[in-house]
Amino acid sequence: MQISRLFQIVYILMHKKRVPAKELAEKLEVSRRTILRDIDTLAAAGIPVYTTQGKGGGICLQENFVLNKTIISEEEQNQILYSLQSMFATGLMETEALLDRLKSLFATKENKEWIEVDFARWGHSEEDNEKFDILKSAILGERMISFDYVSPFGEHKGHEVCPLTLAFKSKSWYVKTFCPAENDYRVYKFNRVSNMTVLDTTFDSSAFIPPQMHTVEDKPAPVKKTFPARLKVSPFAKYRVHDEFAPGDFVVESDGTFTIHFPYARWVYDYILSYGTSVEVLEPQHLRDEMLGHIEKIKNMYKGL
């Protein structure tokens, strides 16, 4: 309790040039004697606090004092502020007032804000924030939720689960849950969740310890074999390779083409088709043949065959 009060005293003194001991005592709901003891504690800790007597006297801080000179390093200040900025961006914590207060306390010559975080999708901020608020309420209130979900296999069905944690990995949000119907843990991609409702059924979150999940869907999948494919990508679409693959997953060849290591999976065809006319598969031949087969099916579909 005393540490919190000492912090409050320093904060008040940094925003007022001089404060009478009686005013501090009333504001912090302690005795004047307690305030004087706190001032002695602060002085012993190296805080440049002093008292002045007579009319207009009171307790003061040395002019231009900032907290970073006595409590934490500049690097530690920045780590705290950047972490709070990230949490404020999620809307899951009421950090704005605390962030403003610490910015004032951690005043430096430059005090630059070089990072800005916004996790909402383009054009969907209001919708996503509403879902975040519902989920926050359910997690903190330990209440089950129901929602509709589209799986990667095209299944669209409802679920009732115990929401445990909201996690951000790579470029997406995921909801870690326990599913009573399956008696197992499940992970759902936040963007595929719709019609979320908080139920009256409660649960004890301390009874669940969700395991580390290495994949975004349900349970970890076995490592799949990959094959190299050489693609000729239009200059207007090359950015996608850099956006969507790790540096170790592709090579830029001397002729400007890309060699990408793909897993043997159905989504590979859909992914390549998503480039439209901006990509051509050069190698291997079996992938070229399979792409022609998919293109033929699309052509026949549009012809109504």
Question: How many other CB atoms are found less than 10 A from the CB of residue 191?
Answer: 14
pLDDT of 216 > 50? The answer is: no
Q: What residues does 260 pair with on adjacent strands? A: 229, 250
DSSP class of residue 129 equals: H
Greater confidence (113 vs 220) lies with 113
**268 contacts: CB under 8 Å, gap ≥ 6:** 262
DSSP class of residue 7 equals: H
Residues 134-163 have pLDDT tens digits of 998 899 899 999 999 988 777 888 999 999
pLDDT of 80 > 70? The answer is: no
DSSP class of residue 57 equals: -
This prediction's pTM: 0.51
Instruction: For each of the domains in the chain, give its residue range(s) and CATH number, in order of start.
Output: 2-65 (1.10.10.10), 125-207 (2.30.30.530), 226-303 (3.30.70)
pLDDT of 49 > 80? The answer is: yes
Average pLDDT over residues 253-266: 85
Q: Under a CB-based contact definition with an 8 Å cutoff, are residues 115 and 79 in contact?
A: no
Residue 285: burial class (beta carbons within 10 Å; 0-12, 13-18, 19+)? exposed
